[in-house]
Amino acid sequence: MINERLRKVMLIALPFIAVATLLGVGWSGAYLDDGVEIGNVILLISILGAASLAFLSLLYRRKAGIVTGMVITFFLVTPAVFYFVNKPTTTTFEEAMPDEISDAQVVTEMTIYDEKERGFKSVTLENLEEIKKILQSPSSMTLVTTDEGLSRHLYSIYLKGDSYEDEVRIIVGDDALRIMGSMDGEDLGAEYEVEGQNSLLQMIENADFKWEKGS
């Protein structure tokens, strides 16, 4: 049996531990991120369930020994589960972009903004073959999911579709990309580190665009 002092300490500590854990999960992007995966939802439910069960069991002094074991197991297992649920995944630019976008099937216009300097430049493309070439040239570029954010924005690519709501933005950094928006009813939202050469960045910088200066 668990002694009375330890029982009281755990009764006070458990709610705070549960809240702190939830905040930690949220700040890490698993709960507050736009792209919530089912694994993260299950993990959050498990956290709340385990904390609630332990709290009630201690409150009514039932199976205190079992609950103690559960709490210890929970804090040993949760970091491992959280890692496997949220571990980075590797993909390619082609896989990150839906086919109808990379094939320019639903894209009517592409605007690229050069954001390296305060006085930005932009170019708008309406030729579908030119748009398709830009989107398909980095198709084999390797991407790894991340939540660290881009260190520096170099270019922003806006893809527009037929309707007002159809717009996808690709933010291009030195060694990272952020893809977000919605096109043809499909929502996109992810950040990636680029492994190896950033083919999309090279494609933009080597292209012979007719840039227009902004204010």
Query: What pLDDT tens digit does each residue of the chain (215 aa) get?
Result: 556 676 666 666 766 766 676 666 656 554 444 444 555 656 666 666 666 666 666 665 656 566 666 666 766 776 677 667 667 788 999 888 877 787 777 888 999 999 887 778 999 999 988 998 999 889 999 999 887 766 678 999 999 887 778 889 999 998 999 999 887 777 888 889 999 999 999 999 998 899 998 75
- Decide the pairing of beta strands 142-145 and 186-195: antiparallel
Q: What is the pLDDT of residue 142?
A: 92
The partner residues of 92 in beta bridges, in order of sequence, read: 142
- Where residue 198 falls (left for φ over 0; alpha for ψ -120 to 50; beta otherwise) is beta
Cβ neighbour number for residue 141 with a 10 Å cutoff: 23
Residue 71 C-alpha from the chain's centroid: 30
pLDDT of residue 192: 92
Which residue bears the tokens 């559960």? 70
CB atoms within 10 A of CB 107: 24
The pLDDT, as a whole number, for residue 32 is 45
The neighbour count for residue 175, using CB atoms within 10 Å, is: 15
